[in-house]
Amino acid sequence: MKKKQDQVADLPPARVDTWNPAKAPDTALSDDEVRELLEESGELFLSHHPKNGWPMVTVHLYCLIDGEIWTTSVKGRVKVDAFKRDDRTCLCVSNGDLTMTKARAVSIKARAEVIEDREIVAKVCRAKAERYYKTAEDQQKGFETLYTPNRVAIRFVPEKIISWDVGRMSKHD
């Protein structure tokens, strides 16, 4: 039986896309590679749709809690209001390799859930601080900076995961 922490990468096969399988079937990441990439990468790019309808992408720090992707924002920010109107989003996480020889990434079609419950917000802020700061002292300072009265948590519920590893592409692509 799979552990709850494995949920991000363990969508049913019918819900997982591959990167142009007819052209490059071996470029998709395995479930373990998706999980590893999400655990090791530092930036999450996420999209939202402001009132004017034009997609907007912002970069966020994120954390994984029980295999789910979370971030935080502040009440009244454009993205929070946008997610309340339209919860559709696309997330992108990569390994940041710009040589295009080892580039790996996942693009996740997801639904964003804005959560205001203070206990959950605190849990997400704590997890983000622990992920990005090394010492207990820095983690506490990071938590105190993040955990503000108007802070909300945002949980992402994946619908499709598209992944690729450029290093696996054949020379003729």
Report how far residue 23's alpha carbon sits from residue 29's, in angstroms, rounded to the nearest whole number.
Answer: 15
Classify residue 170 as exposed, middle or buried by CB count within 10 Å of its CB (0-12, 13-18, 19+). exposed
Q: How far apart are CA 100 and CA 90, in angstroms?
A: 22
How many helices and strands, by DSSP H and E, does the chain display? Answer: 4, 7
Domain 4-117+151-166: CATH class, spelled out: mainly beta
> Whole-prediction pTM value?
0.83
Sign of the alpha-carbon torsion through 21, 23, 26, 30: negative
Lowest-pLDDT range, 48-52, 100-104, 131-135, 144-148? 100-104
Contacts of 163 (CB under 8 A, 6+ apart): 18, 19, 28, 29, 33, 34, 37, 104, 105, 106, 107
Per-residue pLDDT of 3-21, as tens digits, reads: 444 445 444 444 455 444 4
At 77 the pLDDT is 95
pLDDT, residue 20, reads: 47
pLDDT value of residue 170: 56
- State how far the alpha carbon of 16 is from the alpha carbons of 10, 49, 54, 107, 163, in Å: 9, 24, 26, 11, 9
- Specify the higher pLDDT residue, 3 or 132: 132
In tens, the pLDDT along 69-123 reads 999 999 999 999 999 999 999 999 999 887 777 888 999 999 999 999 999 999 9
Res. 24 pLDDT band, cuts 50 70 90: low
In contact, 48 and 82? CB cutoff 8 Å: yes
Domain boundaries, the chain: 4-117+151-166
Summarised one tens digit per residue, pLDDT across range 42-67 is 999 999 999 998 999 999 999 999 98
